[in-house]
Structures are given as C-alpha cells and as structure tokens.
Amino acid sequence: MGMKLNITAISLLLLLTSVAEVSADTYFDVTKYGAQADGKTDISQALLKAWEAACASPIASRVVIPNGIYALGQVGIEGPCKAPINLIVKGTVRAPVDTSRFQAQAGWVAFTNLDQFTLSGYGVFDGQGQSVWGQKCSRTKYCHQLPINLRFDYMNNSIIKDITSKDSKQFHINVLGCRNITFFQVKISAPGDSPNTDGIHIGRSRGVNVTHSTIQTGDDCVSIGDGSEQLDINKVECGPGHGISVGSLGLYANEAPVIGITVRNCTISETTNGVRVKTWPSSPHGTATEMHFRDIVMNNVSNPIIIDQEYCPHNQCKLQVPSRVKLSNISFKNIRGTTPTELAVTLICSKGAPCQQVELGNIDLKYTGPGGIALSQCKNVQPTLWGTQQPKTCAQAA
C-alpha cells in the first residue's frame, strides 16, 4: 500500500511540474499588482488580484511572490479555477502580530476548493508565533483567534513542496476534506516549548502523502484525525515535538473510521512520544484499522511505542468507562533506538473493545537512564510477536 501511494505521489509531482514548465509564459507577479517587499505593507490585495487573474486563465499559470520580505494579512485563496496554478513563494511572508481582527478558527493563509494546485518556491511562511505563545485563554481571545499558518480544505490532486512554515501561532498545516495531496520536502520549524503547534494535522482526507520532510515543533509532528484513509508518512525527520500520532479519537460523536495509515522510514528524535495511537475513554463507537509503523529510528524518545485507549489529559473524561473505539490490524516492525524512560512499549487497549491483530517484530529499544532495563506494559491485548523483542513485549502485562 505504501509503495503504491509513493508511486502515485511521484507521478503527480512530475505531472504538475511539467504543466508548470509548459505554461511559463502565463506568469502573474504580485509586485505588478502593487506588492512591496518592505516587510510592512500588506500584500493581501495584490496577492488576491494576481490570484484572480490566474484563476480565470484558461491555461496553466504561475503566481509568484519574488524574493524579499512581505507582510501578509489573513487571506483565502479559493477555487475552483479554470486550469492548474502554481503559487511560487520565493520570499518570506510574515503574519500579523495582532490577530484581533482574524476570523475565528480560520487559517492565516487558507487554500480551498482547488484541483491540480502546486505551492512551491523555497519560501517561508512566518507566523510570528512568539508574540502570542503562552498567553492565557481566560484573560484574552487567544484560543479562538489564533490562526493556523496554512489550511488546505477540499483540495484535490495537489502538491505542496519545498516551502517552510515557521513559528505558527497554532497548528502549522491543517488538511481537511482533501484527496490525493502530497507534501514533499516541506520544512516545519518552531521551538520545542511552543504550545499547540502541531506540524501537519490531517482529517477526513484520503490519499495524503508526507515525504522527505523535516518537522520540528512543540506538539505532534504529524497528527491524524478521524476520517483519514490511505495516508503514507515516509522519510520524515521528526523532533523536537510529541511524535507521530493517530488520534486522539473518540472525543466526538459520529467520527468517521480511520483506515490505512502507514508510517515508514522515519527518524524521530528528542520527542516525548514516538509513534502513538490514542483514543478517549467513555467514547462513542468508532473504528481505526490497518495502521502500520515500520523501519523507524528513535533517538532519545521518551515513549517510543504507544497504544493508549485511556488517553485522558487534564482528567477530562470518565476513565471508568472504557473506550468504544475498536482498534485492529496494527503493526510495529523494525523499530530501534534509545529511550530515557524505562517504559519503552505501552499497549493499553480498551477492556470494552480489546485490540485485535496487533503485531510487533524486531523491536530493539535500549533504555539509557540510570540502572534497569527497558520495560513494556500491556492491557487487553494479545499481540503476535516475532524477531527481536527488546523490551520483552507484554512480559509485564497488567
């Protein structure tokens, strides 16, 4: 499944690149529409005018933000458009420090209803999150007004490549309702203590590929929500942050199933978690299946392998009522590295819906703390084991 997704992603990348080369004469430079690279003048209207012209073009086109530093307010880049468009960002665009006028729950830059779209150019989207990190929700509108750096909603057959998202005020990238979208050589950067700055969050989307990318942030490098199907996370360098997570699932009613998640050939370093599946206790019924984690290196990762169906941050749940999210067909293979905590493998499944078809093979995780060896903990699961088992999985079953 992972190889098929990778071939599809590469084919799509080559197709869109060839389209952009053929259409080199259809070129919309935002500076021709009034944008100034002075770092102060809002280029929102210039960008939208250039986009409107490109969107109306009957042939493939390019919209370009040249080298330089630009101020950019909250904008919506919307389709459908008549032909493929490549938005090339060569410079650095900076978000406003003041978000009081931002639409709640919206992104700083939101891409919506586009097909055969490319975002590229080695440019930087700087969210300037340092200005708001750590503020308290009870005193300000901080939580509701914080924008996600980049939103991709209802996109099809699109590529995001070679761009950087820096210091987002909230999530860096949010993917919702998309089909066949690839993130290639994307860099995400924020300090390890920056709150709620997930790298890429994916929900209700099918055929999302994240490959050859680096994610350094203060929360999950990649988080996968309900309704996600056929996702491939390949050759991602993650850390600092909270690792790569499926979930949390089961917080809301009528969540769509998660089906077909592959995380492979990744390196996870200096994170609080490695690869994780988490669901809430006392949850509505749900399912998550065909989740496979393989060929992963863990460097000083505190909790390398986790299934947690008792996920309950801040005691916001009823732990005595088991999770009703059914987990099945999960594998962890060829995972090696180091951990500063003794509990290296945690498989805590629901007593109301025990995990089914869990497989672990060639697990080699070394505890680097003072004394002792790496341990495992298991509940309501009987995994299939093969190859190296360090720690001895479920030897300390609870």
Per-residue pLDDT tens for 94-142?
Answer: 999 988 888 766 799 999 999 999 999 999 999 999 988 987 554 445 4
pLDDT at 19 over 50: no
Predicted confidence at residue 208, as pLDDT, reads: 98
Q: What angle do CA 153, 156, 157 make, to 5 degrees?
A: 140
Nearest CA-CA partner of 111 in 77, 84, 86 = 77
Q: What percent of the chain has pLDDT over 70?
A: 90
Query: Considering the domain boundaries, does residue 225 fall inside one?
Result: yes
pLDDT at 144 over 70: no
b/e 194-215 (16+ beta carbons within 10 angstroms → b) = bebbbbbbbbbbbbbbbbebbb
Q: What angle do CA 103, 84, 58 make, to 5 degrees?
A: 105
Average pLDDT rounded to a whole number, residues 71-98: 97
Query: Considering the domain boundaries, does residue 108 fall inside one?
Result: yes
User: What CATH code is carried by the domain that includes residue 351?
Assistant: 2.160.20.10
Query: Considering the domain boundaries, does residue 337 fall inside one?
Result: yes
Query: Considering the domain boundaries, does residue 102 fall inside one?
Result: yes
Predicted confidence at residue 386, as pLDDT, reads: 97
212 catalytic per annotation: no
Q: Which residue has the higher pLDDT, 31 or 398?
A: 31
Residue 249: which pLDDT band, with cuts at 50, 70 and 90? very high
Query: Considering the domain boundaries, does residue 66 fall inside one?
Result: no
Range of the domain at 323: 73-390
Query: Considering the domain boundaries, does residue 256 fall inside one?
Result: yes
Average pLDDT rounded to a whole number, residues 236-244: 98
Predicted confidence at residue 143, as pLDDT, reads: 58
Residues 6+ apart with CB under 8 A from 21: none
Phi, psi values for residue 142, rounded to 5°: -50, -55
Query: Considering the domain boundaries, does residue 33 fall inside one?
Result: no
Residues 6+ apart with CB under 8 A from 226: 203, 204, 249, 252, 255, 256, 257, 258, 286
pLDDT at 33 over 60: yes
Say how far apart CA 83 and CA 76 lie, in whole Å: 18
Predicted confidence at residue 328, as pLDDT, reads: 98
Number of domains in the chain: 1
Q: What percent of the chain has pLDDT over 90?
A: 83
Predicted confidence at residue 136, as pLDDT, reads: 59
Average pLDDT rounded to a whole number, residues 185-189: 98
Tokens of 273: 């978690």
Which range has the worst mean pLDDT, 18-22, 41-45, 143-147, 251-255?
18-22
Computed over every residue of the chain, the mean pLDDT equals: 91
Catalytic residue chosen out of the listed positions 201, 242, 285, 292: 242
Nearest CA-CA partner of 340 in 373, 298, 368, 378 = 368
Residue 397: which pLDDT band, with cuts at 50, 70 and 90? very low
Predicted confidence at residue 11, as pLDDT, reads: 52
Residue 309: which pLDDT band, with cuts at 50, 70 and 90? very high
Query: Considering the domain boundaries, does residue 20 fall inside one?
Result: no
User: Are 220 and 197 spatial neighbours (Cβ–Cβ below 8 Å)?
Assistant: no
Which range has the worst mean pLDDT, 45-49, 177-181, 369-373?
369-373
Residue 7: which pLDDT band, with cuts at 50, 70 and 90? low
Residue 332: which pLDDT band, with cuts at 50, 70 and 90? very high
